[in-house]
């Protein structure tokens, strides 16, 4: 039986307006409404369409195939002269392709990998970003996973964020960017609403500005990612908005990685977007951690507390304390010793942390959660009661 969704693999060769010959990426900036002369792959599941080009640029379309987000891409910043971004750094490191990955019950998954080799020599930071986009048949949402790998030989303290260039209803200009604080997502709209939500952590920065040529500078990205505030609303003029988000810095040892999840939903109304993101978070479920750090008093000992509430349905909070900066692992196991969720798997500094564990999709019963660092290990029991 033929599925309702179809898969797109598009290679479009176009005659373009004159652009600087020394930077072919200028062809992908939006001085035109056409696709670039590059390979794009994507899917349309009925209510949302998503494409990704060979440099990692993600575009979002509505149910009528109309473009609403010109580009959604990751940012990785380590200093004001070292910011991985689409325009200056990003180059394909692996073939963009559909993969067999049914995580979260997804109908389809599109994969690509991108590093900092666009320039010669490559500009820092030396990272590899693996991008996976998950989609569900008939849905108005998609889940985007960015896995940031430290390819350098030194420890990296990295801020990870995103850059979103709007092109609402297939045209740019006069869009509004607002933070919906009651639901913790960003809404970009003109006539169509697009919601963006960081699912794997706390959003520390949200700020927007009017698009202008050649804004893509490391110093500007770094400054905006350190804005440390959530702008409630931005009204763009004729050039349209560029929106920057980021979260607190994460430590990454050489060869290690940090994974970040964003949800995207599109609809004719804010209510449709809200409902789409709400459903997506249920699918995301066991990996939805909502990690919060509370460092009013730096701990001197390691500690793993009993989850609260316990028993619980469907979610609970696990709190722990770390005395030194080191790699921290927090995993949930079923009674057979199988990992059902990895809540933390990264370097963390000294502090007190709280992690939300959502057990949507898991059956009632006894489960165990284990905190493991280089200097401490502890296991506690909890119960899901549905």
Q: Is 270 helix (H, G, I), strand (E, B) or coil?
A: helix
Q: Taking residues 229-245, report their average pLDDT.
A: 95
- pLDDT surpasses 70 at 17: no
DSSP 370: E
Start-end of CATH 2.60.40.2550 domains in the chain? 292-384
**From the CB of residue 365, how many other CB atoms can be counted at a distance below 10 Å?**
11
Distance CA 75, CA 54 (A): 16
pLDDT in tens, 163-189: 999 988 777 889 999 999 888 899 999
Q: Give the pLDDT confidence score for residue 350 in this predicted structure.
A: 82
Q: Which CATH class is domain 6-286?
A: mainly beta
Reported pTM = 0.69
pLDDT band at 300 (very low <50, low <70, confident <90, very high): low
Q: Give the pLDDT confidence score for residue 321 in this predicted structure.
A: 87
Q: Give the pLDDT confidence score for residue 378 in this predicted structure.
A: 94
Distance CA 234, CA 361 (A): 38
**From the CB of residue 23, how many other CB atoms can be counted at a distance below 10 Å?**
13
Contact 248, 200 (CB under 8 A): no
- pLDDT surpasses 60 at 355: yes
Residue with the larger pLDDT of the pair 56 and 361: 56
CA distance to 32, 182, 356, per residue, from 293 (Å): 44, 21, 12
Strand partners of residue 196: 186, 264
Q: Does domain 292-384 have CATH number 2.160.10.10?
A: no
Q: Give the pLDDT confidence score for residue 250 in this predicted structure.
A: 87
Start-end of CATH 2.70.98.10 domains in the chain? 6-286
Residue with the larger pLDDT of the pair 14 and 313: 313
Q: Give the pLDDT confidence score for residue 93 in this predicted structure.
A: 95
Lowest mean pLDDT among 46-60, 183-197, 259-273, 311-325: 311-325
pLDDT in tens, 339-350: 999 899 888 888
- pLDDT surpasses 60 at 267: yes
């Amino acid at each position: 039986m033929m599925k309702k969704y179809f898969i797109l693999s598009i290679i479009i060769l176009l005659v373009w307006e004159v652009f600087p010959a020394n930077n072919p990426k200028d062809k992908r900036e939006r001085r035109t409404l056409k696709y670039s002369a590059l390979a794009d792959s994507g899917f349309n599941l009925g209510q949302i369409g998503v494409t990704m080009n060979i440099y990692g640029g993600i575009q979002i379309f509505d149910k009528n195939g109309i473009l609403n987000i010109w580009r959604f891409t990751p940012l990785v910043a380590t200093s004001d002269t070292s910011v991985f971004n689409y325009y200056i750094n990003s180059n394909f490191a692996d073939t963009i392709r559909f993969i067999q990955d049914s995580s979260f019950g997804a109908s389809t998954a599109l994969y690509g990998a991108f590093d900092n080799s666009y320039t010669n020599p490559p500009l820092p930071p030396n990272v590899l970003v693996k991008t996976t986009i998950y989609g569900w048949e008939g849905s108005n949402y998609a889940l985007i996973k960015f896995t940031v790998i430290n390819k350098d030989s030194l420890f990296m303290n990295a801020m990870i964020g995103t850059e979103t260039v709007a092109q609402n209803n297939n045209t740019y200009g006069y869009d509004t960017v607002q933070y919906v604080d009651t639901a913790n997502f960003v809404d970009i709209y003109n006539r169509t609403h697009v919601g963006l939500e960081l699912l794997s952590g706390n959003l520390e920065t949200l700020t927007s500005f009017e698009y202008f040529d050649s804004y893509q500078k490391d110093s500007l990205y770094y400054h905006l990612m350190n804005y440390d505030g959530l702008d409630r609303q931005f009204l763009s003029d004729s050039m349209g908005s560029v929106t920057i988000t980021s979260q607190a810095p994460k430590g990454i040892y050489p060869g290690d990685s940090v994974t970040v999840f964003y949800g995207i939903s599109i609809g004719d109304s804010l209510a449709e977007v809200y409902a789409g993101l709400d459903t997506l978070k249920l699918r995301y479920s066991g990996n939805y951690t909502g990690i919060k750090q509370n460092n009013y008093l730096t701990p001197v000992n390691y500690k793993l507390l009993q989850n609260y509430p316990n028993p619980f349905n469907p979610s609970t909070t696990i709190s722990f304390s770390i005395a030194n900066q080191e790699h921290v692992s927090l995993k949930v196991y079923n009674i057979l010793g199988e990992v059902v969720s990895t809540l933390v798997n990264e370097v963390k500094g000294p502090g007190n942390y709280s992690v939300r564990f959502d057990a949507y999709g898991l059956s009632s019963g006894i489960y165990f959660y284990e905190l493991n660092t280089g200097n401490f290990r502890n296991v506690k029991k909890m119960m899901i009661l549905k």
